[in-house]
């Protein structure tokens, strides 16, 4: 078993309210869930208008497949409209 958790720190420059921020973040969260079938949650900065942190958890049968998914998810988030990707953290679970 191979698993990884990704954390994306995002900036939403056009946001002037929490409603604006959620409108920009929601397509990313929903898109990741539906396109990649992964677990996704907004995990930090819920009370800030222009910041968000989103975590993604993935499990795959091989390290190669996991690498492919991580790359595709990175590209998906980096190219999302109306947001700026500030930082990405990756935590790998070592197989037993």
Residues 73-92 have a mean pLDDT of 96
* Residue the block writes with tokens 């958890």: 57
CATH class assigned to 2-93: alpha beta
Domains in the chain: boundaries: 2-93
pLDDT tens for each residue of 14-62? 999 999 999 999 999 999 999 999 999 999 998 999 999 999 999 998 9
Pairwise CA distance, residues 2 & 10, whole Å = 26
């Amino acid at each position: 078993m191979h698993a990884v958790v990704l954390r994306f720190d995002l900036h939403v420059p056009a946001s002037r309210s929490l409603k604006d921020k959620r409108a920009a973040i929601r397509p990313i969260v929903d898109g990741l869930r539906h396109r990649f079938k992964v677990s996704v949650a907004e995990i930090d900065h819920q009370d800030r208008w222009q910041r968000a942190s989103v975590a993604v958890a993935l499990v795959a049968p091989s390290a190669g497949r996991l690498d492919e998914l991580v790359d595709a998810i990175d590209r998906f988030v980096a190219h999302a409209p109306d947001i700026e990707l500030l930082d990405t953290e990756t935590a790998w679970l070592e197989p037993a």
